[in-house]
Structure 1
Amino acid sequence: MKSILLHVDGDQAFEARMQVALDLARAGNGHITCLQAVSYEVFAPGDFYGNAMAAAMPRIKEAAAELRAKIEEDLSNEDVSWEWRFQYGMAETRLLEQSALHDIILVGPNDIGEEASRSPSSMVGELAIKSPAPVMVVPGDVKRLDVNAPALVAWNGSAEACVALRASVPLLAHSSQVFLATVSEPGEQQRFEFPVSEAAMYLDRHGISAEVVELPRGKASIADTLLSAAEMRECGVMVMGAYGHSRLAEMLMGGVTRRILTNPKLPVLLAH
């Protein structure tokens, strides 16, 4: 992937996703765009005249400048092409604006300031649904992305899975082995139109050989079944379609996307 959009913030997962950005750039001779968005929408209860916001902004700007200086110093020692873009506004809005001419967006698993939360990132959900580029969610404990490691594609035959598969081809081309994984659920009628055999043929046309794996669900959730399968096969990344049901339905009932994003165990590439 040649054009990599990296979300810059001082959260706990930033070092992990910066390393993944570097690994992707080296693998594809790519370019990293570091996007730092600082929101001026600082809200304080009862601050009707904006006094708290005015008082907070100088420190917010100072912290952003300090973070930028540190990261730029680190990047100056790396052998990749990169640039810095600083913008005011909400991060998800600025990332969406820049996504049209990027091949992938790298973000963390949690909303800023919500690292202790067990809920999936609302920003990731917005980006996955609205961005024309796929989104890779990088957990904070990831040390590096071995692009040559096996990859697991979660396949349910949906249009969203097809979009994710197409978007991941440049990444899958590096993988030593690609698993197209389906989760069998006895008694449930198949309601999607794209069988896994068509996904395998699509990859084959791109010179990528894939092994079809049917995973018995058992008592575990589909999300846990997929994560366990990826771990057993020592996969470096998982690819999946995002929010095959409506996002509201997944929030209310709990869906595969939501469950995986709640506690991802490896980098997850999403597309909708």
Structure 2
Amino acid sequence: MAYKSLLCVLTDSDFLEAPLAQGMALAESQDAHLDVLTLGVDRSQNGYFYAGADALMMQEMLARARSESDDIEAKCRQLLQNSELRWACDSGVAQIADLGRHVAMRARFADLVVLPKPYGPNHGTELEPTIEAALFEGQAPVLMVPEDAKPITAPETICIGWNESAEALASTRAALPFLKAAKTVHVVVIDPPVHGPNRSDPGGLLSQFLSRHGVRVEVDVISKTQPRVSDCLLRHATDKSADMIVMGAYGHSRFREAILGGATRSMLENATMPVLMAH
């Protein structure tokens, strides 16, 4: 198994270098095709009040979005044109309320979507719905890349956040090309239920599944010593000098996580290393 169709969706010229470099490195190592979609986003949300909107204002916002898209596309082509990769770069304009449709249409046909970190100083509001559209409507695994992350193709150490959920299993399956190449994969189980079906061997079935794929697995059962599960997982990954974290995305609803917080949102906010997620 290998990634053969990679997709980068870029909406901000300030945050394109890390995900594009990661996509290019993966395309080379996996002999894959890299598709880059550059979108200029109209953030005015005029679609909600067209009747009272000024036509000149809408035209100005769309022209600004088109200019942003052209700028992002030019920077991407400059980085891609001298490579020997198989690649394509398309551009477009989308209103922020309609952004998910554009992203999902491309993500459905990608083995992996590489995206920038959605939260942080000066991060645009469109980065969050982009990653959610790829995960939910596109049903594609997403590799989130922080701004200062170096491209990785064969991470030596990977931590899997395992809670026996469908989301965690989907992300593990999607990460198999990385897991098989790693020297060590830690299946991290945080406070397993004392009355669960796998209480005597937490993470055992997953480690068996992975070992049959040639993955070198260790099971780490740790206590929840911090308020959030994501903090425990991130600290453990840091302690193990992990190059990547693999975890399920949005086990709770997006609305619940937006209001009350959750492991997915917290990880996307605080991760200092690439995180592969699937839903």
> Normalising by structure 2, what TM-score?
0.85
Conserved? CA contact 2:159–2:244, under 8 Å: yes
Task: Determine the C-alpha separation between the residues in 2 that align with 1:162 and 1:262.
Answer: 22
* Distance change (3 Å), C-alpha of 1:157 and 1:84: same
Alignment check: 8 A CA contact 1:5 1:33 kept:
yes
Structure 2 alignment gaps of length 5 or more: none
Report Cα offsets for 1:26-82 as digits up to 9, x if no partner.
221111100122345744699613211212333432332233122212111223221
The Cα of 1:167 is off from its aligned counterpart by: 1.0
Structure 2 CA distance for partners of 1:270 and 1:191, relative to 1, 3 Å: farther
Q: Which ranges in structure 1 are unaligned for 5 or more consecutive residues?
A: none
| 2:66/2:92 contact within 8 Å kept | no
Q: Which residue of 2 aligns with 1:19?
A: 21
Once the two structures are superposed, what CA deviation does each residue of 1:112-146 show, in whole Å capped at 9, x if it has no partner?
995288xx924323432332210111111212225
Q: 1:109 aligns with which of 96, 117, 129?
A: 117
Evaluate the alpha carbon distance shift between residue 189 and residue 256 of structure 1 in structure 2; reply closer, same or farther with a 3 A threshold.
farther
CA-CA distance at 1:220 after TM superposition? 4.6
Whether 2:69 is the aligned partner of 1:64: answer yes
Pair 1:54-2:59 in alignment: yes
- Structure-2 change in CA distance of 1:113 and 1:85 (3 Å): farther
Q: Matches of 1:61 and 1:251 in 2, distance apart?
A: 30
**Secondary structure at the residue paired with 1:63?**
helix
Match of 2:189 in 1: 182
Return the alpha-carbon distance in structure 1 between the equivalents of residues 206 and 238 of structure 2: 22
Give how far 1:208 is off: 1.3
Q: Deviations over 1:151-208 (max 9, x none)?
A: 11100011111111111112212212111111126x7754899951111111122221
Measure how far apart 1:247 and its partner are. 2.4
Q: Which moved more, 1:140-149 or 1:222-231?
A: 140-149
- What corresponds to 1:167 in structure 2? 174
Q: Taking structure 1 as the reference length, what is the TM-score of the superposition? A: 0.87
Native 8 Å contact 1:43 1:53 kept in 2 = no
Say which is worse superposed, 208-217 or 7-16, in terms of deviation. 7-16
Partner of 1:151: 158
| Alpha-carbon distance, 1:11 to partner | 4.4
**Code of the aligned partner of 1:31:** H
Closer, same or farther in 2 for the Cα pair 1:234/1:87, shift >3 Å?
same
What is residue 123 of structure 1 aligned with on the other side? 130
Superposed CA offset, 1:1-22 (max 9, x none):
1111101222433111111111
- 1:222-247 CA-to-partner distances (Å, cap 9, x unmatched) read 11111111112221111101111222
Does the CA contact (< 8 Å) of 1:121 and 1:261 recur in 2? no
Per the alignment, do residues 42 and 249 of structure 1 end up closer, same or farther by CA in structure 2, a change over 3 Å counting? closer
**Partner residue of 2:244?**
237
3-state secondary structure, aligned to 2:258: helix
Query: How many residue pairs get matched?
Result: 269
Structure 2 counterpart of 1:83, from 79, 88, 93: 88
